[in-house]
Amino acid sequence: MKVRVRGEPHRIYACHCDFCQKRSGSTGAVSAWFASDQVLETTGDTKVFNGLETDRVGVAERGFGVSYYFCSTCGSTVFFTTEVTPGVHGFAVGSFVDPDFPPPTEEFWTELRHDWVAPIRDAAAYERFSGR
């Protein structure tokens, strides 16, 4: 699948929660959030996975579920939407394969951050999730 956006994301954060570790198969995930009118195109087949069914702790903590759209060819999560933030799309920063992409300004669930993962310089750090 391919996505194209314009402009800068209005929010970028890293999440170390158990669900992001499991769904990404890594130590966490970095998300960049864009207004829907910044999303120019999404092409290719996606499947959607609703975190409501498996992310029970996160849903209880945040109070809402997240719909994860992943590429049906490679299996990577590409973007996400939530029911409480209509008009906003989150994208997996890795989808852009851009080493110059701006860094996260927030880190969530630092209590589950792997010990060898360094805190992100100048990012606000929260032991759990904070805000939307």
- Contact residues for Zn ion, defined by CB under 5 A: 15, 17, 20
| 18 contacts 50 by C-beta, under 8 angstroms | no
Residue 5 dihedral angles phi and psi, to the nearest 5°: -125, 165
Select 15 or 78, whichever has its Cβ closest to Zn ion: 15
Shortest spacing between CB 54 and Zn ion, in angstroms: 12
Closer by beta carbon to Zn ion, 20 or else 78: 20
Nearer to Zn ion, 5 or 29 (CB): 29
CB neighbour list of residue 57: distance below 8 Å, 6 or more residues apart: 17, 18, 19
- Beta-strand ranges (E) seen in 36-105 are 39-43, 46-50, 66-71, 77-82, 88-92
* Closest CB to Zn ion among residues 26, 73: 26
Distance in Å, CB of 58 to Zn ion, minimum: 6
Enumerate residues 6+ apart whose C-beta is below 8 A from 35: 10, 87, 88, 89
